[in-house]
Amino acid sequence: GENVEQHPSTLSVQEGDSAVIKCTYSDSASNYFPWYKQELGKGPQLIIDIRSNVGEKKDQRIAVTLNKTAKHFSLHITETQPEDSAVYFCAASNNQGGKLIFGQGTELSVKP
Amino acid sequence: AAGVIQSPRHLIKEKRETATLKCYPIPRHDTVYWYQQGPGQDPQFLISFYEKMQSDKGSIPDRFSAQQFSDYHSELNMSSLELGDSALYFCASSLAGQGSNTGELFFGEGSRLTVL
């Protein structure tokens, strides 16, 4: 089955700096790669996603890149703000059932 | 916009008791997923339903069962509860895409189960 590895497990940046979180996946059949932000005691919130027919996608301060050959994808947050502090999860799925397999999560801390 | 509704938000049970969690998907969504998230862990897939039929099964214990009803809401039934079942349980819903597209999953706020 699919296995998703996520790094780093914790990331601390200064406000205004950029943050990058990286994930690798094992199943070449995976074709959908969402990123979720989870605040304490809340459910994961979808912030951006990318499908395998696209190499890059951007939404304001957030961008995601996908390298299908290397089986890795990354989340880039620019001009970080304290409210970006949360746990971020990458995930992968394929067409069969749509279930998501999550990475281990990255705890991002943005210091004012 | 309407989101995924889960109830109860908090539940405290004793060992060996039973618990039932409910999930109401986003209107018109036809697929429901259940996930279990332990402290400091990533969400682990338990089971999913599409159009009221089980569509996939993950690491769900035999003590747990689930179903999706005609109004698309779903219930997760947990019996013979163990201390290790203490976790956040999330429900997510999606609209199965046409063709080969994967629908986006939207999560509820979760039900926190504490087993004493």
A45-87 residue pLDDT tens: 999 999 888 899 999 999 999 999 999 999 999 999 999 999 9
Nearest-angstrom CA–CA distance, A4 and A72: 9
- Give pLDDT, residue A95: 67
Average pLDDT value over all residues in chain B = 92
**Pairing mode of beta strands B74-78, B64-68:** antiparallel
- Give pLDDT, residue B99: 43
What stretches of A15-111 adopt beta strand conformation (E)? 19-25, 32-38, 45-51, 56-59, 62-67, 72-77, 86-92, 101-102, 106-111
Nearest-angstrom CA–CA distance, A100 and A91: 6
- Which residues in B36-73 are b (16+ Cβ under 10 Å) and which e? bbeeeebbbbbbbbbeeeebbebebeeebebebeeebb
A25-48 residue pLDDT tens: 999 999 999 999 999 989 999 999
Nearest-angstrom CA–CA distance, A18 and B29: 36
> Of chain B residues 86-105, which have a CB less than 8 A from chain A?
90, 92, 94, 96, 100-105
Nearest-angstrom CA–CA distance, A2 and A92: 8
- Give pLDDT, residue A97: 60
Residue type, A39: E
Structure tokens at A86: 């949360």
Instruction: Identify all chain A residues contacting B43, using CB atoms and an 8 Å cutoff.
Output: 44, 89, 100, 102
The secondary element (H helix, E strand) that includes residue A13 is strand A10-14
Residue type, A97: G
Nearest-angstrom CA–CA distance, B31 and B50: 4
Chains A and B form CB pairs within 8 A to the count of: 65
What is the distance of C-alpha A11 from the center of its chain? 13
Nearest-angstrom CA–CA distance, A85 and A19: 11
- Residue B56 is nearest to which of A32, A51, A97, comparing CB atoms? A97
Check whether B13 has a pLDDT greater than 60.
Answer: yes
- Give pLDDT, residue B107: 95
Check whether A109 has a pLDDT greater than 50.
Answer: yes
Q: By the CB < 8 Å criterion, does B36 face chain A?
A: no
- Give pLDDT, residue B100: 42
B24-74 residue pLDDT tens: 999 988 899 999 999 999 999 999 999 889 999 998 999 999 999 999 999
Contacts of A60 (CB under 8 A, 6+ apart): none
Q: By the CB < 8 Å criterion, does B5 face chain A?
A: no
Q: Under DSSP, is residue B88 helix (H, G, I), strand (E, B) or coil?
A: strand
B71-101 residue pLDDT tens: 999 999 999 999 999 999 999 998 875 444 4
- Residue A89 is nearest to which of B42, B106, B109, comparing CB atoms? B42
